[in-house]
Structure 1
Amino acid sequence: MTEASAVPTIEEVLDGSPTNWGKWGPDDEVGSLNYLTEAHALKGVGTIASGKVFTLQRLIGDPNGDPVWPSREPATRTQIMDEATWDGPDAPQFPGGLHYADDKLDAFLQGSTQYDALGHVWYDGKIWNGYDARTTVGGLDKASVQPLAERGVAGRGILLDIARYRGKENLDKGETFTHEDLIACAEAQGTTIEKHDVLIIRTNFLKLFFDQGDAFYDGFVEPGLVYSKELVAWFQEMEIPNLVTDTIANEVTIDPNIGVALPLHCALMRNLGVVFTEICDLEKLAADCAEDGQYTFLYTAAPLKVSRASGSPVNPLVIK
């Protein structure tokens, strides 16, 4: 690990890094999702062979706990109305005698399976497409999750089962991989990553959350992609619209080579407009792909339409 005193700034690390700012006009707020046209949706549909459906959202309010970023708290569901409401004399009365249940959720919008807005991270006072970071004050006036939700995502998805490729039940804390590993993983699966694919990467790392409990957060460093200029250039060349993983941050938490936290959030999301989807449950999908050898499919998703939000829960849908 790089010594703290020697850790460079994000500006230094990403100096000269490519951007897609202005590529889709000065008002763009969906970034690399622009690559996904109607033809790409049909390409995803063309992979459907059996009609099997998989949902990728992790359960909110899991009795075993909800994995979240260390500074966030799990969602809290509160029952507001139930049959006990009608036990007292002041119970509401409806014509015909109707009773009903009602509840509410208090949650971080990025505290479960979720899409990040493109304005979620920044440096040097600018968010995606060069918008001023001051537009985030009090809520995102630019590059919020709402435009992503309005647009939706549909295209060919490809599962890259890195854990299975490496012969592991799950990747270890801080374990890294590169775009070259992704290419090799696809080849080992008998598949090929194609331009404009939605990349879905399985590490099964969150198994450790359920195995270890609170100890999961000791020395918290997730496995994931590690920054390099070559990796960023590959994402740019392949015009990747959406990066989807089963980890909380989609990349190794602290880059082991440069000591910087989450540089790919800046290089890919802030600069290239690659949309990030995190905390997916890929286990049923991965088991099925390993069984039938089909690792490509129709991937669809739409986060909730939340005004000015920096992220939103989502339940992605895969059809094979």
Structure 2
Amino acid sequence: MHVKRCGLVVAFVMLVLFLLTPVVIAEEKTAPAMEPWWPSRYGPDDTLGTLNEITPQKIAEAAMLVKKGKVIELGTEYSAESPGFPPRFWQTQALAHKVIKPLGENKFVWLEEQFEGCPGVGTQIDVPSHVGVEYAPGDIRFYNGAKLEDVLDTNKALVKKYGIESMPPVITRGVLVDMESYKGRRLEAGEVITVSDIEGFLKQHKLELRPGDALLINTGWMYWYKEDPKKFISGEPGIGKEVVPWMYEKRIAFIGTDQWSTEVVPMEDPDEAWPVHCETIAKRGFTWGQDLVLDGLAKDCAEDGVYEFMFVFTFPKITGTTQGIGNPVAIK
């Protein structure tokens, strides 16, 4: 009797839970978990985000910064040894054609290559399709409120909105903020770069950021890219969340760093996952670059005292991708 009564009680409780569950789920689906971040300040149909700040006039002004014709390359090589956030990889293979039996009387042979991997290995550029946020349960949104189904073509396994092929090259005034020289050492993993840090460097060198600028931040972390790849990818110094609205208010067009995710790792709040990515790319439409090789540029700027230059980042238009490879340059 006791067993039977317990069974009835359990059955009743399960029935109540079953009946209540749809109500809870419906409530969760109709109540947004956060405030919408759209429409963009660049308009509800905009697809370029902060790159809108780079105008023809801005490019012409950047060209005026070229005084010596000196080109400083800021890109890495791409190889199987390049560290990347798992499961990213890079693999290149050379193909030898007709080496065993050359063609024609002139004995023609040729070499070419094939490669596979992820643009997120080595120097990279990320565009607004790269990051989304779950605005409400089951409702993933990207820049300007675009829904997941608007951005991702699941049949082709390609992005169809905000792809790298639709983005213009980045050509603008670049400003280097050298945190390594400012602090007198390489920054450590988990070390947060603050607004105060950036403003302190700018004040020290009598610099100001202007709308449309590319802000490049040297931390010294790229030293570990080849010296200790495991250490390089295990964490990093980077900007904190407070820097994002500050950059947006200043109408910065692009941010580039000498580490692999721009933001600090481990993150400031252990309960959050990649919050700077969410605030910059998804909510404000930033385009940014990572794994930039900035030590040579930092040395040159320290020698001549000039921390502004023409910055150029072009990239292949690989259809349907959220990231790109390239060899950005600073021209002084």
TM-score, structure 2 length as denominator? 0.82
- 1:143 counterpart = 2:159: no
1:194 deviates by 2.3
CA RMSD of aligned residues (A): 2.0
Equivalent residues of 2:173, 2:310 under 8 A apart = yes
1:225 deviates by 0.3
Unpaired segments ≥5 residues, structure 2: 1-32, 135-139
Secondary structure of 2:180's match? helix
Structure with bigger strand share is: 2
Which residue of structure 1 lines up, in the alignment, with residue 12 of structure 2?
Answer: none
Whole-angstrom CA distance in 1 between matches of 2:310 and 2:38: 26
Equivalent residues of 1:302, 1:316 under 8 A apart = yes
Inter-CA distance 95–106: structure 2 relative to 1 (3 Å threshold): farther
Unpaired segments ≥5 residues, structure 1: 1-13
Which residue of structure 2 lines up, in the alignment, with residue 223 of structure 1?
Answer: 237
Q: How many residues align?
A: 291
1:16-31 equivalence runs, <5 A:
19=37, 21-31=39-49
Inter-CA distance 77–241: structure 2 relative to 1 (3 Å threshold): same
1:308 deviates by 0.9
Whole-angstrom CA distance in 2 between matches of 1:213 and 1:34: 35
1:192-211 equivalence runs, <5 A:
192-211=208-227
Equivalent residues of 2:127, 2:286 under 8 A apart = no
- 1:98 counterpart = 2:112: no
1:129 deviates by 1.4
Q: Among the aligned pairs, what percent are the same residue?
A: 25
1:7-86 equivalence runs, <5 A:
15=34, 19=37, 21-61=39-79, 65-73=81-89, 75-81=90-96, 85-86=98-99
**One-letter code aligned to 2:237:** P
1:206 deviates by 2.5
**One-letter code aligned to 2:215:** L
Which residue of structure 1 lines up, in the alignment, with residue 183 of structure 2?
Answer: 166
Whole-angstrom CA distance in 1 between matches of 2:59 and 2:305: 22
1:177-188 equivalence runs, <5 A:
177-188=193-204
1:116 deviates by 0.9
TM-score, structure 1 length as denominator? 0.85
Which residue of structure 2 lines up, in the alignment, with residue 154 of structure 1?
Answer: 171
Inter-CA distance 183–103: structure 2 relative to 1 (3 Å threshold): same
Whole-angstrom CA distance in 1 between matches of 2:209 and 2:249: 12
Which residue of structure 2 lines up, in the alignment, with residue 3 of structure 1?
Answer: none
User: Cα deviations across residues 172-203 of structure 1 (Å, max 9, x unaligned)?
Assistant: 11111112211111222332222321101111
Which residue of structure 1 lines up, in the alignment, with residue 117 of structure 2?
Answer: 107
**One-letter code aligned to 1:123:** V
User: Cα deviations across residues 37-71 of structure 1 (Å, max 9, x unaligned)?
Assistant: 01110111121221110121101128xx3121133
Q: 2:147 aligns with which of 116, 132, 136?
A: 132
Equivalent residues of 2:125, 2:325 under 8 A apart = yes
Whole-angstrom CA distance in 2 between matches of 1:221 and 1:102: 36
Secondary structure of 1:93's match? coil
Secondary structure of 1:101's match? strand
**One-letter code aligned to 2:88:** R
Which residue of structure 2 lines up, in the alignment, with residue 234 of structure 1?
Answer: 246
Which residue of structure 2 lines up, in the alignment, with residue 11 of structure 1?
Answer: none
Inter-CA distance 224–165: structure 2 relative to 1 (3 Å threshold): same
Inter-CA distance 20–130: structure 2 relative to 1 (3 Å threshold): closer
1:165 deviates by 0.8
